[in-house]
Structure formats: structure tokens, C-alpha cells
Structure 1
Amino acid sequence: MPHVNGFHHVSLSVSDVDASLEWYQRVLGFEVLARRGSDGLDKAILADADRTVAVVLVGHGPAAVPGDFDERRTGMDHLGFAVTDRAQLEAWAARLDELGVARSQIKAGSTGELIAFRDPDNIALEFYTR
């Protein structure tokens, strides 16, 4: 059986690449690695400072299907970012509060603790302890 050794990236369809790009940089501290347009798509490739997490923001232009993100629709339910421990989770909670990003309280998940929050397109995101 061939081996998969991790995720290369996750792509998120967004309504406004520029607005989402600014939010992911400001809130999560992601860096822009590239910005490309092709075949009617507008793509921004971002990563964390260590380049261990890559997120691609994709604008579909006139081909976009209107409507808000809904985790109950077939497709992605949410995106969980791993954090090392409770102290990191508390630091992220403080950062989200400082930036006025609505979030859940720290709560127990299936395999750790988490904070749930949403991006500008209402995409469900989490910080989750390993």
C-alpha cells in the first residue's frame, strides 16, 4: 500500500480573495507564498511561518455559486488547526478576543480541547489540541 505522509494543502472557496487574504494574514499570521489567476480562478497560497500548514484561497469569479458556507452541506465540515497544548489554545483565545473574532469557549472535543470560530465567509474553523 502506498503511503500518504500528510496534507499538502487545503483549498477554500471564498467570496472575496482580497478580504479573506487580509483576514488570514491578520488573524492567523499566515504569509502569502503566491498569488495567481488562471482559468477564471483567483488563487492566493498562504502558509504559517514554519510552512507546515498551507491554505489556498480560491475565488471562482462569475462561475461562483452564491450562498454562505454551511457545514451541513456535502463537502467540508470544518478545518481544524492543530495546537500543541492548552496554553497555546488559551493564547489563541486571547488573540481572537483581541481582534474581535467571535469564538466558542474552550471546550472538550473528541480527542482534545478546541476553540471554534469562523472566517469572513462563515467557514467553520477550529484550533484543536493534539
Structure 2
Amino acid sequence: MADRAVHHPRGRHLRDRAPGTRPPEHHHRGAHGCGELRRRQPRRRGAADRLSATARGPRTDTGQYGSYPSGHPPATKEPEMPDPGMSGSEMSPPTSPPSLHSIAHVALTVTDLARSQEWYQRVLGLEYVITVPHEGGEGIVMADPDRRVWWAIHRHDGQDLAPFSVTRTGLDHVGLQVNSVDDLHAWSGWLDSIGVAHNGIAGLPDFGMAALVFYDPDGIPLELLAYT
């Protein structure tokens, strides 16, 4: 179809463009009065366009791992976690005892909670953590400042108030390891300075260690050990 001239009401000449033909070229007069042709430029994006794009948010793509920001797919798929509801009977039984990490805490029954709490905090430098009421009694939890040694003392209603004895079934003593023999000497001096009796530092050659033994208010033996 041929283009035909159309007279604009203001006198400008426009052209009706047939489908598939090139866009019209505008006649522009340059700074020196010379006519030049300038092709129609695409419309520049304004602030309103940018605001609209911001409101829509970033473009997202969808893959096998779900939706993610465009151009940033996840590197790997999240591993599937085991079913927490699986009981021990549904797992293969071990052929030997599972490993242990460490002793989680020591818990002792004492005759006087307040007296023992004051003693352990003053002598061992433990800090009060929490009081734990339990059926038929009460417990107090303490720990060293680094939270590596956890210590609990308990009182039970109707408990036997007889003095502690290593010959009675149950606890014999509690052993705590220190870093060196020099630390044992430091502990010996500390106990002397606060008036806590002890047995002095003794060698344990069969174990390659040295030990320092003293007793809590109920007569429970506490043993500090160091490798020689």
C-alpha cells in the first residue's frame, strides 16, 4: 500500500504508514539552518517508570529448588534431615557401646544446701546458676566461670543425715583434673590461706600423676589431679 500525504489541521505534513514499513523520519533543522534527518528515538524511562519497577520488586526465576532472585540460583539443594520421629527400635542396633563425650555434671546429696553452696562457691570458685525444685526436695546448680565444670547439690525430704562414708554404697570421691603440678601447689596454697584442711600433694606413680585431697562440709572427698 502506498503512503499518502495527509494535511494536519495546523499545516504539518504527516504520513500514514502502512504495516511493516519503516517508522517515519522527522525533518529537523540544525543549528546552522541545514535540514537533517533524525530517526524517532525510543521514549526515555522517567521517575514514574522507575517507581513502578521498584514497587514490583526484583524479578524472580523458578527452578527445581523453588523461586530465587533472577541470576542467583542456589548452588546445591538443602540436604534432607532424618526423621526425628524414628525410634531406636527402627534403627540398626549397635554392636558395641556408643561413645561418650565427657561427664556432663556432678550431683551430690548434702545435709545443708545453704552451707554447701557457700562452701563450693568460696573454695572452688563456682558460680550460682539456678535453683531447681524437684519432687521431695530441692537442688542448686553451680558452674565454674568458663562453664566447663557443672556442679549440683541436692537436699531430699526424709534423707539419711548420717555423715558421708566411702564404705556406704554409692559415691567414693570426686576427681577433678588440673593442668599441671604447679597448679596443684597453687591449690595447696589457696586451701591453706582459707583454712581448708587437705592431705598434701601425693605422688601416684602407677598413674603418672600427683594428687591433692580435701573434703567438703559433709566429708565428701574431692581429689585434684595433675599429670607429672
Counterpart residue identity of residue 193, structure 2: E
Q: Does residue 100 of the first structure (1) align with residue 218 of the second (2)?
A: no
Match of 2:84 in 1: none
Match of 2:152 in 1: 56
Q: Which of these residues, 15, 21, 40, is aligned with residue 111 of structure 2?
A: 15
User: Once the 2 structures are TM-superposed, how far is the Cα of residue 43 of structure 1 from its aligned partner?
Assistant: 0.4
CA–CA separation in structure 1 for the residues paired with 2:221 and 2:120: 13
Match of 1:35 in 2: 131
The 3-state SS of whatever aligns with 1:24 is helix
CA–CA separation in structure 1 for the residues paired with 2:175 and 2:123: 15
Cα deviation per residue 1:53-108 (whole Å; 9 max; x = unaligned)?
A: 111100113x2112011112111110011101111001100110011000011001
Over the matched positions of the two proteins, sequence identity in percent amounts to 36
The 3-state SS of whatever aligns with 2:166 is coil
CA–CA separation in structure 1 for the residues paired with 2:137 and 2:225: 31
Counterpart residue identity of residue 168, structure 2: R
- Higher relative contact order, chain-length normalized (CA < 8 Å, sep 6+): 1
Alpha-carbon RMSD across the aligned residues, in angstroms, is 1.1
Structure 2 unaligned residues grouped into runs of 5+: 1-96
Aligned residues: 129
Structure 1 unaligned residues grouped into runs of 5+: none
TM-score by length of 1: 0.94
CA–CA separation in structure 2 for the residues paired with 1:41 and 1:8: 22
Counterpart residue identity of residue 54, structure 1: W
CA–CA separation in structure 1 for the residues paired with 2:161 and 2:117: 19
Runs of 4+ in 1 over 3 A off after TM superposition: none
**Whose helix fraction is larger, Structure 1's or Structure 2's?**
1
Q: Which of these residues, 72, 84, 88, is aligned with residue 179 of structure 2?
A: 84
Pick the structure with greater CA Rg. Answer: 2
Match of 1:121 in 2: 218
CA–CA separation in structure 1 for the residues paired with 2:210 and 2:167: 22
User: Once the 2 structures are TM-superposed, how far is the Cα of residue 7 of structure 1 from its aligned partner?
Assistant: 0.6
